[in-house]
Structure 1
Amino acid sequence: MLDHNQWLEARRKGIGGSDAAAIIGLNPWATPYTVWADKTGRIPPKEDNEIMRQGRDLEQYVADRWMQETGKKCRRKTKMLRCSDYPFALANVDRWVVGENAGLECKTTSIMNLKKFKGGEFPETYYCQCVHYMAVTGAERWYLGVLVLSQGFHTFVIERDEDEIQALMDAERDFWKYVELDAPPPVDGLDPTTGAINTIYAGDTEDGIIEIYGKENTVNQYLTIKQRIKELDIEKERIEQQLKEELQLYEKGICGSYQINWKGQKRRTFQVKDFAKDHPEIDLDRYFKTSEFRKFEIKEAK
């Protein structure tokens, strides 16, 4: 059985179930670019945290609860799986259901995600992961057991759909070409991609200036959008001013089907400079966090 570090290294050699949703744009915390950067070793693996640890530690509990809820049996499957039809796809499944051509995915999530399970719904990321596993294993269905901490336990079943599997595998195959070519997928303007780019190109920079060819229209587009955003921010502020004039000293106002709030609030802030002036004998340097980053801007060349 692989330890956690060996598992992280092995999953870089193919697309895992947890990568599937990001590749097709359904994961708010990851994008095709971040998955590519991870697979090609350009960014470090995600640091282990308490949420991830609880998910691993409670996996057996979720499996036990699922067996109690359904009356079915399941067993652990520790081997990382591949199939010849989709050699780029990996499956590290949580459990295999005894007596069925089916698997079980065990999930633990926070109470903050409770609303995602209203009316028999569940997150799209879970669905993509289960479809991915059915593609790799050939399973007829995939079960899902979800523990919402301190709130309840949910069970779902996803039946095999060949069209869904083919669509996902086609997208994964196209994505894997970027990994094989060591060339990044198109950027998308999303925060995770920005974070990955900033990580990849952090650190020591090169001296001098490079010539960027064929991107003048892109630069003009950037500057035009930046100006439009500035104008829209001013327009938004003007409208807000109009509505504040209507509210005057009232905290709430009704306008058709909308309620407008302008409530008084208090915020306490620590005045570092004043404290340092009053207590010059205390060294405050160790309380400051230093962050390194690269500032991006465009200006007229001289």
Structure 2
Amino acid sequence: MVGRYGSAPGQRHCRGYLPRSAEDVVTAGKLDVPVVLPAGASQDDWEFARTFGLGGSDVAAAAGLNPWKTPFQLWLEKTRRVEAEFDEVATERMYWGHVLEPVLLREWDNRHPEYVLTGGEGVYGNRDHTWMLGNVDGLAWEYSGELAGIVEAKTGGHRAVAEWAEDDVPVHYVCQVQWYMHLLGAPRTFVVALLDTNTYLERIIDRDDELIADLVDAATEFWDHVQRDEPPPADASEITRRALARWPAVPGETVELDPLWHKHLARRHELSEQIKALESERTGIDNRLRAEMGQAEEARLDGEKVATHRAPAKPSRSVDHEAFAVERPDLYALYVTERPAGRRLTYATTTARRDQQ
């Protein structure tokens, strides 16, 4: 053997780690699992393949257990109505996750000489359900050739530390690795994580067939919505609202609502009136407190601080975009980025009293 990090022709890991293939290490370690996209495929091919099924990172969202993506948003993406969208923070987080993944796999490998670590063969599938997909970070093998488990590498900032406390693992990661264990028939997953740049953690998640059955049921129900091109119920989250705002409109198209919407719109108007009354009451309390404080910057009750009334540390600033574009079009084009605005829901009927959202 030449070290613990040999590489085989064609063996590829999408984030840059090139461990040996299973055939090079253990001749009995071939998985009897179909590969729908081989290792070495381009990132574009990998992203395209994901639109035809649910991968491990999709399952928690399909089951309503992902804090950053709802089933409705996932449906919009899988039916290609909108593209997956990430803000700068999420993009940066994913980039460093990719960069640090081979470092974590290498560290896990060094700490566990009892196993042989290899990369996966690509995107795995399921013979009976071709929409079930999975792309693992690594595979841990016994020297006998038996699959010991899957290896998954995760990263997170300081806010993620609490989610991993007391041997916990964030629920969306648990869903992800249970999905992989279902596809590959693995008995466990070794999770290695680096949090807040210097907190190294390891967790072992055993296969849970009851949880897998629940995830398969939820994923099957969700994928049925995709195949029928019918959306799942829209939830009340801000995530779903933003996703629906990005759903492109067909100019001039009109939809006739079910008569049941008379009830829904009346209820919305009732809620709007209640909200206005409550907001007015709250504003009255705020103003009475401001008046009570007078020139004071801080208010205390029973010796404890309850409120402050201070000017912002920095003055507010605004830019006259129209004047800027006319007077300095060169700088405007250089520094101002314009994106299509999301659609805005505007109520125009008497029942809704022109409420806007």
TM-score (norm 2): 0.73
1:129 deviation in Å?
0.6
Aligned residue number for residue 95 of structure 2: 53
* Counterpart among 125, 128, 131 of residue 175 in structure 2: 128
- Distance in 2 between residues matched to 1:243 and 1:85, nearest whole Å: 65
String of CA shifts for 1:90-119, please: whole Å, max 9, x gaps: 111110111143101111222342332233
Aligned residue number for residue 272 of structure 2: 226
Residues 1:223 and 1:122: Cα distance change in structure 2 (over 3 Å): same
1:251 deviation in Å?
1.5
The residue type equivalent to 1:212 in the other structure is: L
* Counterpart among 65, 80, 89 of residue 107 in structure 2: 65
Instruction: Tell me how large the CA RMSD over aligned residues is.
Output: 2.9
1:153 deviation in Å?
1.1
146-155 or 64-73, larger mean C-alpha shift: 64-73
2:62, 2:71 within 8 Å by CA — same for their partners in 1? Answer: yes
The residue type equivalent to 2:348 in the other structure is: K
Residues 1:16 and 1:65: Cα distance change in structure 2 (over 3 Å): same
The residue type equivalent to 2:203 in the other structure is: F
Residues 1:271 and 1:81: Cα distance change in structure 2 (over 3 Å): closer
**Structural mapping, 1:33-44, within 5 Å:** 33-44=72-83
69-78 or 241-250, larger mean C-alpha shift: 241-250
Aligned residue number for residue 80 of structure 1: 123
The residue type equivalent to 1:64 in the other structure is: R
1:252 deviation in Å?
4.5
- Distance in 2 between residues matched to 1:262 and 1:120, nearest whole Å: 39
- Three-state SS of the structure 1 residue aligned to 2:277 is helix
Q: Does 1:239 align with 2:285?
A: yes
1:86, 1:169 within 8 Å by CA — same for their partners in 2? Answer: no
1:263 deviation in Å?
4.9
- Distance in 2 between residues matched to 1:193 and 1:117, nearest whole Å: 27
Q: Does 1:32 align with 2:71?
A: yes
- Distance in 2 between residues matched to 1:140 and 1:252, nearest whole Å: 58
**Structural mapping, 1:114-263, within 5 Å:** 114-202=161-249, 205-206=251-252, 210-214=255-259, 215-244=261-290, 249=296, 251-254=298-301, 259-263=305-309
Structure 2: 5+ residue runs without aligned partners? 1-39, 352-357
Residues 1:163 and 1:243: Cα distance change in structure 2 (over 3 Å): farther
- Three-state SS of the structure 1 residue aligned to 2:68 is coil
- Three-state SS of the structure 2 residue aligned to 1:49 is helix
1:140, 1:159 within 8 Å by CA — same for their partners in 2? Answer: yes
* Counterpart among 55, 72, 75 of residue 16 in structure 1: 55
String of CA shifts for 1:23-63, please: whole Å, max 9, x gaps: 12221211111111111111124469333232222221111
2:246, 2:343 within 8 Å by CA — same for their partners in 1? Answer: no
- Distance in 1 between residues matched to 2:167 and 2:299, nearest whole Å: 36
1:22, 1:35 within 8 Å by CA — same for their partners in 2? Answer: yes
Identity %: 27
Aligned residue number for residue 102 of structure 1: 149
1:300 deviation in Å?
3.1
TM-score (norm 1): 0.86
The residue type equivalent to 1:81 in the other structure is: Y
1:34, 1:192 within 8 Å by CA — same for their partners in 2? Answer: yes
The residue type equivalent to 1:238 in the other structure is: G
84-93 or 16-25, larger mean C-alpha shift: 84-93
String of CA shifts for 1:209-248, please: whole Å, max 9, x gaps: 5432322112112222222222222233233345555655
- Distance in 2 between residues matched to 1:44 and 1:229, nearest whole Å: 34
The residue type equivalent to 2:125 in the other structure is: R
Normalized per residue, the structure richer in helix is 1
2:64, 2:70 within 8 Å by CA — same for their partners in 1? Answer: yes
- Three-state SS of the structure 1 residue aligned to 2:201 is strand
- Three-state SS of the structure 2 residue aligned to 1:14 is coil
1:138 deviation in Å?
1.4
Aligned length in residues? 297
The residue type equivalent to 1:92 in the other structure is: N
Aligned residue number for residue 296 of structure 1: 345
Aligned residue number for residue 270 of structure 1: 317
- Distance in 1 between residues matched to 2:111 and 2:292, nearest whole Å: 56
2:189, 2:206 within 8 Å by CA — same for their partners in 1? Answer: yes
- Three-state SS of the structure 1 residue aligned to 2:192 is strand
